Amino acid sequence: MRVVLGVAYRGQAYRGWQSQPDGQTVQDRLEHALGRFADVPLRTVCAGRTDTGVHALNQVVHLDTPIERAESSWVRGTNRFLPPDIAVQWCRRFDDETFHARYAALGRRYVYVLLESAVRPAVEAGSVGWSFRPLDGARMEAAAALLLGEHDFSAFRSSECQAPTPVKTIRSIALTRRGAYWRFEFDANAFLHHMVRNLMGALLAVGSGTRDGAWLAAVLAGRDRSRAAPTFPADGLYFVGPYYDPVHDIPQRTPVLDWLP
C-alpha cells in the first residue's frame, strides 16, 4: 500500500527537509514519528525538498508499507510522536504505486511573506522577511513579468543545486499587500535550489530602486549568479505545496493557508 501524507511545519528549528546524520531535519523527525506509530522503520519521499529555515504548509510525501491503518489513524497516530512545529494534516491511501509525490506533481507553489518597515520584526521574527527600504509595487510587478515563462534560471541557482537542468517554467508571480506586509506568490513546474530566495533578492533590488528592470533582464539572460542580488533570508518563505491531476484527489489546502498573511 502507498500512503500519502500532507505535512505542515515551521522550518526555523530544522536543517531543511532532507535527512542528515545529526537527525535535525523535518524528514528525520517525521520518519522517527512514523516508525514509532507503525512499529517498523518507514522511509518517505517528498514532493519538494525545502532548505534550512523554510516553512511548509502542505508538503506532500508518500511511503510504502504493508501495514493497514485508517487514514485518520495515520494522521493522529503520527502526530502523537511529532514535535509541536510539525504536524500531518491529512492522509490518502493507494492500493498501488501509480501515484508518486514528486514525479506526479504538475507544479509547485511558494509564498514569501515580507514586512516593509523601518523597524525589524519581533513577534513575527522567523516567520517573515524584512525590508527597511520602501518598496514600489508597480516596479516589482513589471520586473516579475520578465521572469514568466520558460527560462534558463542559472543566475538564480545555488552552487549546490543538483537539478539536472536550470531550465524551469514560471507560470505566475503575484504580488499583494496588506498593511505593512507583502505577499509574493510563485507558481512553477519546479524550482532550483535557492531559486525563490534569489528571485526575491532581485525583485526587492528593483522594488527599492537600487536596480531597474533592464538590470534584471540582463541578469536573467546572462545566466551568471555572480551578477545577481544576494540570496534573501529563508524566514518568510513557505512551500505552499505541489499540485496534481485531480484524479488523484490530493488536497491542495490546509487550514494554515487561512492564517498566512
pLDDT at 261: 72
Please, what's the b/e burial string for 57-76 (b: 16 or more CB within 10 A of its CB; e: otherwise)? bbbbbbbebeeebeeeebbe
pLDDT at 93: 94
Q: What is the DSSP-derived secondary structure letter of residue 102?
A: T
- pLDDT, tens digit (0-9, with 9 covering 90-100), for 110-144: 999 999 999 999 999 999 999 999 999 999 999 99
Cell numbers placing 139: 516596479
Q: Which residues of the chain have pLDDT under 70?
A: none
Catalytic residues: 51
Cβ neighbours of residue 176 under 8 Å, at least 6 residues apart? 182, 183, 185
Cell numbers placing 212: 531597474
pLDDT at 245: 96
pLDDT at 146: 98
Domain count for the chain: 2
- What CATH number did the domain enclosing 201 receive? 3.30.70.660
- Domain membership of residue 245 (yes or no) is no
- Domain membership of residue 28 (yes or no) is yes
pLDDT at 156: 98
Q: Which domain holds residue 132?
A: 108-238
CA 219 – CA 66 distance, rounded (Å):
50
